Structure 1
Amino acid sequence: MKYLSRTIAAIFTAGLMLNSPATLADEAVKVYAQKNAHRIMEDFRTFLSMPNVASDSDDMMKNANWITDYIGKRGFTGEIVTAGGAPYVIAEKKVSGAQKTILIYAHFDGQPVAPENWTTPPYEPTLRDGTVESGAKLINWPKRGESFDPEWRLFARSAGDDKAPVIALMAALDGLEASGQTPSVNIKLILDGEEEAGSPTLGGILEKYRDRLTSDLLLFCDGPMHQSRQRQLVFGVRGAMTVHLTAYGPKRPLHSGHYGNWAPNPNDRLVQLLAKMKDEEARILVPGYLDDVRPMSEAEAQAIAALPHMDEALKADLALGDTDGGGKRLEELIMSPAIVIKGFEGGGTGSKSRNIIMPSATASLNLRLVPDQTPDNLKASLTAFFDSEGFWQTDDEPTDKELMAHEKVLKVEWVAGGYGAFRSDLDSPVARKLISILNDIDGEATLLTPTMGGSLPIYLFEKELEAPIILLPVANHDNNQHGRDENIRLQNLWDAIDVYAAILKKFGS
């Protein structure tokens, strides 16, 4: 109860503000954003029109150049830097008299797209009056003098993950300046051009530019908000790893009628292996996999209990008749590790199915880590598990000789760039200060979430920098990130402007 009482005290100490109106300064930024909605949305539209897959260096450099020009107009001194991969943007805006510095992280690359799966082209930003899944209709881009409905959605790759923070932050600064206000902090930016590829060179960037990134707070501006749509601070993320598994059968395709029940089917072997890794409630069964998991603290359990319970609403929204986890709520389950089968390929399906036994079958697994688990330990536990299931393992394509020498062969390809999880203190002085600032925006209490289910390379920042780290997500939870028809609800963008303006104005006070 010690944690809970301190947190409640912090909320009430936040200026007797749970029942107070927003300050005139906050209101001025809100009014500015609405009066300048067309310019802000046109900037966002331009930014989202740029393809941004990290593997395309030309596209990513176009994005980086646009960013440096865009933020330069707001007084930032920016530089595009690399460490052998996609570009990053490092920038700083010094404020006269400011004694504190905030470092803000966001990323401007996006997941690869399959345009044929999108309702509208992924790099042609489009407005709708709701989600595609709900049958929302297209909206013509408003003309000058016409308003943007806050419940409309803007559809484009990276609309929700993660270009919005760049636009909202600059709009917040514009709003402060227009209303005669000055940020109370120096502002530093590190904008990642390869997060969706695992940020493989981020370690080199942080090591090389560590001295330019010192701050009193690192705000990670990525990820979706809570499903209740309430404002939220997040204090952790899971780690991530990817592994591809390939099982083998005959060296060439065989007629399934002539050779079925005799020639081993790699589909069967791989499915059987995968089925032994988890039970029906998705609990992990691999020996040793859970040995290093950090238990949930009392403070984290209390924070989860205080969150709005959204499971039934989510089940209805997603048309789910059941969920994994034995009845535990979503926020508790994402505090645990996960093994997710991302995809399986072992022959055609539907109209492309054929009566053959294929030479191989491949599954791609996404492994989500929690604090104290390490990529090396998980590799060791899975390697031992595959061995116990009778598989001879290789990281290369097996030869005919190797296939004949072993009853079961498994190619195991670990994708580079796996990283661990992160969780920080929900009741630190910096957290209490942020709670105070955010609650003062509109008198509504800010949700405190111990961890989000997704992954970010925060562990590298924790290793190289000394600043406390807190996540500030702004996108709607149903933004379809990483998938088709990615979108952002416009009210989330306006709310982000308000939040950034409040933090920049008050954190250094």
Structure 2
Amino acid sequence: MIDDAVRERSGALVQTLLDSIRIASVSLTGEGIGDQVAFLRKRLEGWGFAVEVHDTTSHPIIYAEAGPADAKFTWLLYGHYDVYPADEKQEGWRTKPFEPVIEGDRIWGRGAGDNKGQHLAMLGAIATWRETRGELPVRIKLILEGDEETGSVPLPKFVEANRARLKADLCVYSDGPMFPNDQPVLLMGVRGNLGLEFISKGAKRNLHSGNFGGVAPNPTLDLIHFLAEIVDRDGKLTVPGAGYADVKVAPADLEAVRTLPVDHEGFRESVGADPTTGSDDALFHERLMLRPAFNVSGFAAGYSGAGSKSIIFKEAIAKADVRLVAGQDPVAVADAIRAHAAKLGYKGIEIKSLKGTPASRTPLDHAFVPMVRDAVAKGFGRDPFVVPSLGGTTPDFVFTKLLGLPSIVIPLAPYDENNHAPNESTKVSLYLAGVRSGLHLLEAMARA
């Protein structure tokens, strides 16, 4: 029955996604945000939701409810309608980012995988249930935010202010990539993310390197040396109290990643290089899910144009993101890095925190895991892996830490979705499998 219902409505389900992708909704610039909110409000009301639009200090949060108020089970569903910026010319897109194109099983366009093709699959399941069966068997509470790509800053405040209204039995939502070869997974957590800016200052003006080289401060070299002193060549943060060695990984988590496969050929094709973990598949997943990672995402210093300039520049700037794991507090990690800079004598380097999202985890053996696993297995026609964590970050902590809920993430985007990069895509087949999974999940929740 579910397969037939989704097959008969596949054209309309896909069209909803295409219509959403055409609305830019870029949180960094605000482009298209209002139009996307209006689009979602109209669709949600048509699907039987009572919809509220809450203004924030940034972009609106859409909150909606549907289903019987006295239902025995309540599902909290989350998604984000904002997308990462897309520069068609500078980045080298093969299609126009906000004009979706279907080629075979692929849907190309910004937001196709992150996150429109994911939350709309789950909403498509709810819409299909209403159309084919009438009233929902459970209460559904929905949060759609417009600031995930810039750190979800307004979301914790919204959740804190609405704790009573957001009471639920389980949070299940879709985000992140699946494993290679369209292998479904259940993610029982996410890594956190700390954004940092390093500003290294020297003289009050740029100096001639012949007249002052060797006697004047050199902020570019200072910053290079500092980064080299806090991170080893493998990307491991070595700062006492915040580093790789300070993280204790639970034996159950290590066991969970021990048998997970790595598609080395697919990785090589997608990335253009081999994994830094070599042939050790367990270490690959341990590093990606269970260990922190330090990345320099930007570095600006000196002159890099044609020819050369003999100048000691007065300032150098670097930006970094630190992926955090369970037990690491973003504020404490930032403070530890500042303290380490002072201890090493880098007085000219200012360290600013740009954003901080804690890691989040739900136990691998939680009682709701079999229910969600079976629903996804039916939706995809193959058993999902149950893994400790997503390598990336979502605001999962607001559900697990602020609301105290178990939270399970079901990725619906392909491994090579290229989110945050040119030529983002998803697959029609995975999108529809997500709809089927959502319908099976509704059936299972009704029996819970």
TM-score for the superposition, normalised by structure 2: 0.91
1:158 counterpart (111, 116, 127):
111
Aligned to 1:198: 151
Could you say what secondary structure the match of 1:343 adopts?
Answer: strand
Distance of 2:305 and 2:117 partners within structure 1: 39
1:361 aligned to 2:316?
A: yes
CA contact (8 A) 1:292 1:373 kept: no
Structure 2 unpaired stretches of 5+: none
Distance of 1:325 and 1:246 partners within structure 2: 35
- Distance change >3 Å, CA 356–CA 321, structure 1 → 2: farther
Aligned to 1:400: none
Alpha-carbon shift at residue 219 of structure 1 (Å): 1.0
2:283 counterpart (290, 306, 329):
329
Letter in 2 for 1:446: P
1:122 aligned to 2:116?
A: no
1:271 counterpart (204, 211, 224):
224
Alpha-carbon shift at residue 89 of structure 1 (Å): 0.6
Alpha-carbon shift at residue 243 of structure 1 (Å): 1.1
Aligned to 2:54: 81
Alpha-carbon shift at residue 450 of structure 1 (Å): 0.3
Distance of 1:44 and 1:207 partners within structure 2: 31
Aligned to 2:383: 445
- Distance change >3 Å, CA 433–CA 321, structure 1 → 2: closer
- Distance change >3 Å, CA 96–CA 212, structure 1 → 2: closer
More moved, 492-501 vs 236-245: 492-501
Alpha-carbon shift at residue 183 of structure 1 (Å): 4.1
- Distance change >3 Å, CA 428–CA 62, structure 1 → 2: same
Distance of 2:304 and 2:291 partners within structure 1: 33
1:246 counterpart (192, 196, 199):
199
CA contact (8 A) 1:228 1:308 kept: no
Alpha-carbon shift at residue 296 of structure 1 (Å): 2.5
CA contact (8 A) 2:33 2:59 kept: yes
CA contact (8 A) 2:67 2:137 kept: no
CA contact (8 A) 1:289 1:378 kept: yes
Cα shift readout 1:129-149 (whole Å, capped 9, x = no counterpart): 4xxxxxxxxxxxxxxxxxxx3
Cα shift readout 1:277-326 (whole Å, capped 9, x = no counterpart): 12222222212213895533232222212322324541343221451589
Q: How many residues align?
A: 443
- Distance change >3 Å, CA 441–CA 456, structure 1 → 2: closer
1:423 counterpart (361, 370, 391):
361
CA contact (8 A) 1:282 1:325 kept: no
Letter in 1 for 2:200: A
Alpha-carbon shift at residue 232 of structure 1 (Å): 0.9
Distance of 1:371 and 1:351 partners within structure 2: 46
Could you say what secondary structure the match of 2:334 adopts?
Answer: helix
Distance of 2:211 and 2:96 partners within structure 1: 46
Aligned to 1:184: 137
CA contact (8 A) 1:311 1:330 kept: no
1:484 counterpart (418, 422, 427):
422
1:375 aligned to 2:330?
A: yes
CA contact (8 A) 2:28 2:84 kept: no
CA contact (8 A) 1:87 1:192 kept: yes
1:410 aligned to 2:333?
A: no
Could you say what secondary structure the match of 2:177 adopts?
Answer: coil
CA contact (8 A) 1:293 1:373 kept: no
Aligned to 1:346: 301
1:388 aligned to 2:343?
A: yes
Identity %: 27
- Distance change >3 Å, CA 118–CA 92, structure 1 → 2: farther
Distance of 1:252 and 1:449 partners within structure 2: 52
Aligned to 1:496: 434
Alpha-carbon shift at residue 178 of structure 1 (Å): 4.7
- Distance change >3 Å, CA 488–CA 354, structure 1 → 2: farther
1:173 aligned to 2:148?
A: no
Cα shift readout 1:100-145 (whole Å, capped 9, x = no counterpart): 1111111111123333214233222234x4xxxxxxxxxxxxxxxx
Alpha-carbon shift at residue 502 of structure 1 (Å): 1.3
Alpha-carbon shift at residue 262 of structure 1 (Å): 4.0
Alpha-carbon shift at residue 493 of structure 1 (Å): 1.2
Alpha-carbon shift at residue 358 of structure 1 (Å): 1.4
Aligned to 1:32: 8
- Distance change >3 Å, CA 354–CA 501, structure 1 → 2: farther
Distance of 1:301 and 1:289 partners within structure 2: 21
1:288 aligned to 2:264?
A: no
Alpha-carbon shift at residue 181 of structure 1 (Å): 6.8
Distance of 1:374 and 1:195 partners within structure 2: 19
Aligned to 1:506: 444
Aligned to 1:467: 405
Distance of 2:308 and 2:158 partners within structure 1: 47
CA contact (8 A) 1:252 1:358 kept: yes
Cα shift readout 1:477-500 (whole Å, capped 9, x = no counterpart): 211111222222222212211111
What is the correspondence of 1:37-186 to structure 2 with a 5 Å cutoff? Answer: 37=11, 39-56=12-29, 59-95=32-68, 98-116=71-89, 117-119=91-93, 120-127=95-102, 129=103, 149-150=104-105, 152=106, 154-180=107-133, 183-186=136-139
1:235 aligned to 2:188?
A: yes
Aligned to 2:394: 456
Distance of 1:354 and 1:33 partners within structure 2: 63
| CA RMSD between the two structures | 2.5
Could you say what secondary structure the match of 1:453 adopts?
Answer: coil
Letter in 2 for 1:411: E
Distance of 1:114 and 1:32 partners within structure 2: 36
More moved, 63-72 vs 261-270: 261-270
Letter in 2 for 1:125: P
Alpha-carbon shift at residue 411 of structure 1 (Å): 1.9
Alpha-carbon shift at residue 424 of structure 1 (Å): 1.1
What is the correspondence of 1:8-23 to structure 2 with a 5 Å cutoff? Answer: none
Alpha-carbon shift at residue 195 of structure 1 (Å): 1.0
CA contact (8 A) 1:244 1:412 kept: yes
Distance of 1:442 and 1:59 partners within structure 2: 33
Alpha-carbon shift at residue 361 of structure 1 (Å): 0.7
Aligned to 1:307: 260
CA contact (8 A) 1:28 1:179 kept: no
TM-score for the superposition, normalised by structure 1: 0.81
Distance of 1:227 and 1:497 partners within structure 2: 20
